[in-house]
Structure 1
Amino acid sequence: MTIYLPPLDDNKPEHFPPISSALDDPDGLLAIGGDLSPRRLASAYHQGIFPWFGVDEPILWWSPSERAVIHPTRFSPQKSLRKFVRKNGYRVSINHRFDDVIQHCALIRGEDMVWITPEMRSAYKALHRQGSAHSVEVWQGDELVGGLYGVSVGAMFCGESMFSLKPNASKTALWFFCEHFRRHGGLWVDCQMMTEHLASMGAQAISRDAFLTELEALKKVKLDESVYTPQCLGVQDD
């Protein structure tokens, strides 16, 4: 079966096809080509679109029919995780080591299974320098043992990837970030596509239409800039 995808115009970085034209199979595939400039990336996230492609593949853009999201106001870690973090002395920071976090996320599955390509890493590093992409780091002593990164869109945080080098490190990153994000007025964490790991951490699946409706409202909310200031994160143990 031949699939036709509209190629993106290099001269119109904000322009994407209508979300309604996304394919059913493969689910959510919307467009091909273009570039990964900060301007195009920011525009994509503001429209509910994200890039996902492998090494030696063209840039592919997606908006799946079902979206995995976490509501920070409802996120509650299991007692076992709280106890584990206290026992193992993990501490968490935000925007201290973005480049290292994305590098670990890229290689966590091994050298032969990299989907966060060098091109993507460079693009998100540029977006980080512009203040739109952010990292959360988990430390055990002076060792970086886990973390996550993503893109801020108003009161929504669009998570891209996470990694763990020690038990429960990515769960700790998400827990601390959700608490921090909630305290600063953040309302949704977009996890893109549902997995068993995300479901175990409280992610819920919603329709694309419901996601886009919320995105339209949340992207207009301006959070205090201190939410992404490099800092150590505390946790409210409610």
Structure 2
Amino acid sequence: MAEVLRELEQAAQLIMAPPSVVSQSQRQAAENVILTFRRSKSPFEACQFMLENSKSDYVLFQVASTVKEAMIREWTLLSPEQINHMRTFLMKYVTQNIGLSNYVREQMLQTVAVIYKRGTLDTKSSGREALFQDVSQLIASGNTQMQMIACSMLTALLNEYSGNAKTSAIGLSWNFHNECKRKFENNDLKQVFQFALQVLHQIVSSPDQMSRDASTLLGRILAISEQVLSWDFSLARHIL
């Protein structure tokens, strides 16, 4: 695994290097290294190793993308325990690595949202209770950085279930997406809105002058609230 990680990090350096110092053939070879890894079978153990050991943002992003694609591709072969382990690992990783670049963190949380959505109609556990418990704990912490992660998680869920251009292609039918959306509307949308209201209450109840971080958090919460309140429901019966 260490050797594969070195190859990925070397490939990342070539891909990110200026055109003046890397030839087209070198760049293409590096891209092939990344693509080969992303298509590898059952890469989850390797991905976990790389997340724990790599410092390259580009590699971390590609690893998160690999997990997402492999989860979709190999879903029927995975046990509920394997699925929940990967979801839990990604959430824990994000909360324990506050310094992650935004695009890396968002990709990891999008992967968590895709895992959750893929299990919506499945007999396997989607990890619903555990995921919302994680979000609840992040919000209740009162820590602005943790609450921002919660906001990113909620936004990822809304995007995945909305059925708009931000929804990930997971290779299943439009009917599957519609059924997932209806179930999300019935079971989870109200909870997402309640989380947003909880954070909003904490912000407005603070007697201190609003900091820059709190102002950013407020903007995220208002965006989530707007997305919920303008939700394009599958059915005429609204639940809010």
Instruction: Say yes or no: TM over 0.5.
Output: no
Name the larger-Rg structure.
2
Q: Which has the higher strand share?
A: 1
TM range, normalised to the smaller chain?
under 0.3
